[in-house]
């Protein structure tokens, strides 16, 4: 699995435009091949900070998304931002669920 986190800081006067752009992408990105989840989050302490968090089945699926016109629109928001978007791509080799948390908590003394 591949996880992408994109952090964007909107110019205060461009916040609405950034939000509209991000909201317009939610449904269609979530329907792309290999997209497991796509979330847009807004920071509760600074309303100008947005994070996009995507999960992709494979790096190839993500690469196809990055080459899409839709991702180009996202990169085109740079004039609405205080600084270039901070993009992080993480490859996950192992995932655990709540059972792992419960097992660890059961080991408490």
Q: Would you give the end-to-end CA distance of the chain in angstroms? A: 34
User: How far apart (Å, rounded) are the C-alpha atoms in residues 102 and 109?
Assistant: 14
Looking at residue 95, its pLDDT comes to 83
Looking at residue 109, its pLDDT comes to 59
Q: pLDDT of the chain along its 109 residues, tens only?
A: 999 999 999 999 999 999 999 988 888 898 999 999 999 999 999 999 999 999 999 999 999 999 999 899 999 999 999 999 999 999 998 888 888 888 889 887 5
Stated pTM of the model: 0.85
φ and ψ at 41, to 5 degrees?
-125, 145
The two three-digit tokens of residue 89, written as one number: 């791509």
- The Cβ of residue 54 has, within 10 Å, a number of other Cβ atoms equal to 23
DSSP symbol at 55: E
Looking at residue 99, its pLDDT comes to 87
């Amino acid at each position: 699995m591949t996880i992408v986190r994109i952090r964007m800081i909107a110019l205060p006067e461009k916040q609405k435009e950034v939000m509209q752009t991000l909201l317009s992408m939610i449904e269609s990105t979530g329907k792309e091949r290999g997209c497991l989840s796509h979330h847009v989050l807004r920071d509760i302490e600074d309303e100008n900070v947005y994070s996009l968090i995507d999960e992709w089945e494979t790096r190839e699926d993500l690469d196809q998304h990055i080459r899409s016109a839709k991702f180009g629109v996202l990169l085109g928001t740079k004039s609405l931002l205080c600084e270039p978007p901070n993009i992080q791509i993480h490859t996950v080799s192992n995932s655990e669920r709540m059972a792992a948390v419960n097992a660890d908590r059961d080991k408490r003394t």
